[in-house]
């Protein structure tokens, strides 16, 4: 007997619907085993991870705060991935957006600049993210260089550039030599939605981005072109779609969204520019995009779920001394299971008798 | 003269992990599989390699732990990309994300520990030759191993039947399958070899390069190794040139930082990454006539029967 993979006659819609749930279930089982290996009670560990953050308003707000950048970035990435353009440098675009917007905040710090500062910062952040994402896109379209490698290399460059700025020219002179800029002025910060709470305007912007993504993909010709170029490149060529232009477009949009997420993060929850403003949002957003099936609504749900794991991971570290790296392991395993389950939409397993020797030969 | 010798020695040391990882990835890609998880396999190799060496007190056991860890990681990739026909780009990314988390988890208890680094060859008489002695006869074992490995792979790919079959799988898996070759099994071996090399390359860092482990110590070397296979047009000989060039960029920027020329250190540190981008652009541009990449690279293969 032999277990083989074979293509289904048509894609299975049932599996398409339930596969993210199967993936999450399998991940939780795997995590329980990992908790046992780490010598923790799996039931209480899972409780701290997935249930506790849902029980108080502070954590609920914090989930929305963490989900906002994830969702924004993942919507942009999903456009790229649908068009078969592999932007994996969203983390770098996030950082560059944060830097570009912070430039204005630093320059206007302590002056009597008015309320135009914050919107201008957001625009700067989005523009810088888009330009930064266009570097790998242009290298791909113009020279054929792998966008995967170039976009990733730019993450390291952006990280070092931010580090240089906050240790060098932008360092807060009153900051006791910590590598950080001065706290942003109130006009340079993203307002909170509930007085005294953490939830800020970024959450609303993320919702707008989800709606815009859904309209773009579902209701416009461009959205249709993006999907066709990725799913059936030959058909797209016959249709006269310009795939190079779509690569540039999807990279620019995803870069802009990542940059916007970056500046919102700095001008909102963080309040100043410093190294380590992102716990890997740009990379986690890749998981969000796939877990959400590259679908805007799916991404919203997936973003909230992964934000939950960030909060749960922090609480588990405090309450049960579970290392923070467990969250990354969790995210990696989740992505594996999501991809594996998605494979069963197009393929299925079948047990067949061992193939007779004659079919093997022909050496 | 001593400075020149010191620079060449450090270039060789910085290049060796790149060469090891890139050699493994070259074999994987020549079989038609694009494993983007090199960084993840390397960093787990680094954590396990250091752990093995620290617990056992033996560099060789440490290196073996790194190799085994790399193979185990590559098996996860193989299960997904070969067994379940999942998109190889996404699977490779997942492997890197998982690897970074796992290495942090495994390596946490070793952070701050030190070991005696891998010993260097010492042949009385030969090693003492001025200038060339230490460069040719005074390296650690990994350096010699990496060069032997590249040569062995060149021989395998171009001088043996096995190499021909491997390349056939990478260039046209349908033809290879039609001829009766077990495409998926050959690819599995190639992926495992890539994992072993990446694990060893990762282990090199805490065992020979710096005698301690810090989380994230691969710092993108796995990705640079991936770029090197493109740089080398998937040919082992050019891989050596590429790896040593990149090692040289890394070391020269370090020396420039040490010499205190007025450029901020962060700009110098970003040079290897910028160099990778520039090289990729220049090479891809020079190659507009036709790609030298294995024709089936990154495509899914599900045998029909």
For residue A362, the chain B residue with the least C-alpha distance is B180
pLDDT at B293: 81
Section A136-158 average pLDDT: 91
* Shortest Cα–Cα distance, A95 to chain B (Å): 15
Q: What is the largest CA-CA distance in chain A?
A: 85
Segment B83-99 mean pLDDT: 90
pLDDT of residue B253: 82
Q: Is the pLDDT of residue B290 over 60?
A: no
* Distance separating alpha carbons of residues B251 and B232, to the nearest angstrom: 21
Q: What is the mean pLDDT of residues A108-130?
A: 90
Disruptive mutation site among B94, B162, B213, B242 for chain A (greatest number of A CBs within 10 Å): B94
Domain B2-286 falls under CATH 1.10.8: no
Q: How far is CA A41 from CA A34, A36, A38, B268, in A?
A: 10, 6, 9, 47
- Compute CA distances B49 → A38, B9, B119, B213, whole Å: 20, 23, 16, 9
Euclidean distance between CA atoms B293 and A122, whole angstroms: 41
Distance between start and end Cα atoms, chain A: 24
- What are the tens digits of pLDDT across the range A329-356? 988 899 899 888 888 888 888 777 765 5
Q: How far is A195 from chain B (nearest CA, A)?
A: 37
Domain edges within chain B = 2-286
Task: Give tens-digit pLDDT for A206-254.
Answer: 999 999 999 999 999 999 998 888 888 888 888 888 889 999 999 999 9
Instruction: Look at residue A17 and give its three-state secondary structure.
Output: helix
Contacts of A139 in chain B (CB under 8 A): 277, 280-281, 284
Question: Do the Cβ atoms of A332 and B97 come within 8 Å?
Answer: yes
- Read off the pLDDT of each residue in B29-57 and give the average, rounded to a whole number: 94
Closest by Cβ to A152, choosing from B223, B269, B274: B223
Report whether pLDDT(B144) > 80: yes
Residue in the block written with tokens 């520019």: A273
Q: What is the CATH number of domain A2-11+18-352?
A: 1.10.3470
Angle between helices A57-82 and A201-219 (to 10 degrees): 30
Please state the domain extents for chain A. Answer: 2-11+18-352
**How much is the pTM?**
0.89
More confident position, B36 or A3: B36
Query: Which one of A85, A147, A288, A328 would you mutate to disrupt binding with B, by most B Cβ within 10 Å of its Cβ?
Result: A328
Chain A contact probe: residue of B29, B86, B101, B110 with most A CBs at under 10 A: B101
Q: Please tell me which residue, A239 or A307, carries the higher pLDDT value.
A: A307
Q: Which chain A residue shows the shortest CA-CA distance from B304? A: A6
Q: Which residues of A touch B105 (CB under 8 A)?
A: 323, 325-326, 329
Per-residue pLDDT at A363: 42
The alpha-carbon gap from A363 to the nearest alpha carbon of chain B, in Å, equals 7
A90 neighbourhood in chain B, CB within 8 Å: none
Q: Which of the given ranges, A156-165, A323-332, B249-258, has the highest pLDDT on average?
A: A156-165
CB A192 within 8 A of CB A121: no
Q: Say whether pLDDT at A360 is over 70.
A: no
Instruction: Please state the rounded mean pLDDT for residues A68-95.
Output: 94
The minimum CA-CA distance between B280 and chain A, rounded to whole Å, is 6
**Nearest residue of chain A to residue B96 (CA atoms):** A332
């Amino acid at each position: 007997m032999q277990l083989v993979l074979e293509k289904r006659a048509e894609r299975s819609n049932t599996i398409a619907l339930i596969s993210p749930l199967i993936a999450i279930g399998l991940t939780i089982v795997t995590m329980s085993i990992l908790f046992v290996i780490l010598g923790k009670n799996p039931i209480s560990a899972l409780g701290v991870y997935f249930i506790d953050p849902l029980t108080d308003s502070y954590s609920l707000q914090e989930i929305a705060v963490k989900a906002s950048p994830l969702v924004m970035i993942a919507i942009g990435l999903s456009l790229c991935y649908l068009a078969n353009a592999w932007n994996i440098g969203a983390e770098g675009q996030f950082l560059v957006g944060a830097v570009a917007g912070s430039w204005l905040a630093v320059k206007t710090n302590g002056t009597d600049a008015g309320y135009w500062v914050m919107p201008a910062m957001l625009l700067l952040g989005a523009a810088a993210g888009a330009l930064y994402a266009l570097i790998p896109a242009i290298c791909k379209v113009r020279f054929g260089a792998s966008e995967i490698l170039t976009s990733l290399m730019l993450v390291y460059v952006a990280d070092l550039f931010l580090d240089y700025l906050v240790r060098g020219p932008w360092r807060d002179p009153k900051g006791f030599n910590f590598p950080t800029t001065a706290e942003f002025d109130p006009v340079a910060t993203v307002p909170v939605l509930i007085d005294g709470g953490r939830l800020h305007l970024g959450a609303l912007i993320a919702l707008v981005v989800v709606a815009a993504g859904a309209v773009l993909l579902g209701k416009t010709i461009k959205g249709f072109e993006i999907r066709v170029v990725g799913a059936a490149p030959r058909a797209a060529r016959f249709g006269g779609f310009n795939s190079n232009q779509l690569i540039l477009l999807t990279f620019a949009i995803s870069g802009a969204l990542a940059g916007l997420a970056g500046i919102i993060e700095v001008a909102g929850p963080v309040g100043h520019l410093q190294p380590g403003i992102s716990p890997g949002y740009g990379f986690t957003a890749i998981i969000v995009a796939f877990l959400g099936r590259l679908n805007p609504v799916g991404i919203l749900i997936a973003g909230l779920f992964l934000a939950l794991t960030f909060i749960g991971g922090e609480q588990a570290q405090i309450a049960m001394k579970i290392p923070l790296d467990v969250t990354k392991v969790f995210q990696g395993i989740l992505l594996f299971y999501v991809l594996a389950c998605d494979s069963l939409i197009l393929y299925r397993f079948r047990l067949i008798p061992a193939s007779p020797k004659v079919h093997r030969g022909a050496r | 003269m001593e400075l020149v010798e010191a620079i060449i020695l450090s270039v060789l040391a910085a290049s060796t992990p790149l060469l090891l990882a890139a050699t493994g990835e070259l074999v994987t890609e020549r079989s038609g599989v694009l494993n983007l998880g090199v960084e993840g396999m390397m960093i787990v190799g680094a954590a396990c390699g250091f752990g093995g060496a620290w617990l056992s007190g033996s560099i060789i056991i440490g290196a073996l732990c790194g190799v085994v860890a790399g193979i185990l990681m590559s098996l996860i990739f193989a299960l997904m990309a070969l067994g379940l026909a999942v998109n190889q780009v996404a699977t490779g990314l997942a492997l890197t994300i998982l690897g970074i988390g796992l290495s942090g988890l495994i390596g946490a208890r070793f952070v701050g520990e030190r070991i005696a680094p891998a010993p260097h060859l010492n042949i009385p008489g030969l090693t003492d030759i001025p200038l060339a002695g230490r460069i040719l006869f005074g390296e650690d074992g990994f350096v010699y191993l990496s060069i032997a490995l590249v040569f062995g792979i060149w021989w395998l790919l171009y001088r043996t039947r096995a190499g021909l079959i491997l390349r056939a799988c990478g260039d046209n898996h349908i033809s290879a399958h039609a001829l009766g070759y077990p495409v998926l099994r050959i690819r599995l071996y190639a992926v495992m070899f890539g994992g072993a090399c990446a694990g060893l390359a990762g282990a090199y860092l805490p065992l020979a390069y710096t005698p301690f482990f810090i989380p994230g110590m691969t710092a993108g070397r796995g990705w640079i190794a991936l770029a090197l296979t493109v740089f080398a047009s998937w040919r082992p000989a050019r891989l050596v040139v590429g790896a040593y060039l990149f090692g040289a960029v890394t070391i020269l920027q370090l020396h420039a930082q040490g010499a205190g020329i007025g450029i901020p250190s962060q700009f110098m540190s970003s040079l290897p990454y910028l160099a990778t981008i520039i090289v990729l652009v220049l090479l891809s541009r020079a190659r507009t006539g036709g790609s030298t990449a294995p024709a089936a690279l990154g495509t899914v293969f599900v045998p029909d029967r």
